[in-house]
A = this chain, B = another copy of it.
């Protein structure tokens, strides 16, 4: 077999040693140019950069992190990346963190066991911090990370004992305002299609919603379990509407459920909002599509991410920084899925 000179052959990975040799300086000086960039004469710097370019030299991040103890890597743990809300979350986190030089190790899984083992591996990579958006994992995982002194920020949820910093929307208050709004609009028979019952978001949203109805002595509330997917919303609405034909409004645990609910209602032959009002939660992009025009609660996503990033970076840099819990408000976005029944 002959060597084909036209084929770009696989180059050795050159090191700062190699560069130093060519530039006629010590490895130390090469390192200074690529890392601190301090105290190097212009003359040598040029020589070094020329030599580096010649060899296509690039520093080795692993060797570097070994000694600096900074990996510039952050883990992000998700469930349901297919939910558009989380796609957006991922995108924004990536924007913000990459702008600050961090890299994202992405973890997503339906399967809890796989996730646990992956988290262990994440530890071995010495990520500097972890963002957790997964309800089912928050508690055990965050403890595991804390044991190794790794910063954890929970996003869109919190744990009961507040062991980690967390950023989320005030779901309780939001649900109260939504309930009040629906009552004002003259609705009489309420339904709530929930997410998984063990998540803080579901608990708080239900609590707020229920509280307002209780205050007003309204008993007519049906709760239907869902799991934050279109299909679960679709099934829930089918179930609800066949069982109780009086329901005139449905509050949904999130937007994607709401879309499923709307499609189910329409399939049955009822109209939105003429026959039934629907309210969602999240304000994902699809909720403003003309086919749905969903009235929903907007979470201040960008601000929430910004806040989470600030918290994270602060805690990374000052290991004894206090844990913080940030709760944001958001607001109702009125479109065309709710109608006054007075």
Contact = CB atoms under 8 A, between A and B. Distances in A.
Interface of A: 8, 10-11, 13, 56, 58-63, 65-66, 71, 73, 76, 81-82, 84, 87-88, 90-91, 94-95, 98-99, 101, 103-109, 114, 118, 120-126, 146-149, 230, 259-260, 262-264, 266-267, 285-286, 289-292, 319
B82 A94 contact: no
Nearest to A284: B82
Contact of A62 (B62, B82, B262): B62
Given A94-B106, A230-B289, A319-B10, A71 B82 contact: no
A336 to B, nearest CB: 12
Contacts of A109: 94-95, 98
A2 to B, nearest CB: 14
A341 to B, nearest CB: 24
A114 B87 contact: no
A290 B319 contact: no
Contacts of A292: 291
A73 B61 CA distance: 13
10 contacts: A61-B126, A81-B91, A82-B285, A84-B87, A87-B87, A94-B106, A98-B107, A103-B125, A105-B105, A266-B291
User: Which of A58, A62, A71, A90 lies at the interface centre, i.e. has the most chain B CB atoms within 10 A of its CB?
Assistant: A62
Given A94-B107, A105-B104, A292-B291, A60 B126 contact: yes
Contacts of A147: 8, 11, 56
A230 B285 CA distance: 10
Nearest to A56: B147
A131 to B, nearest CB: 12
Given A106-B106, A291-B291, A90 B84 contact: no
A147 B12 CA distance: 10
A56 B91 contact: no
Contacts of A105: 73, 103-106
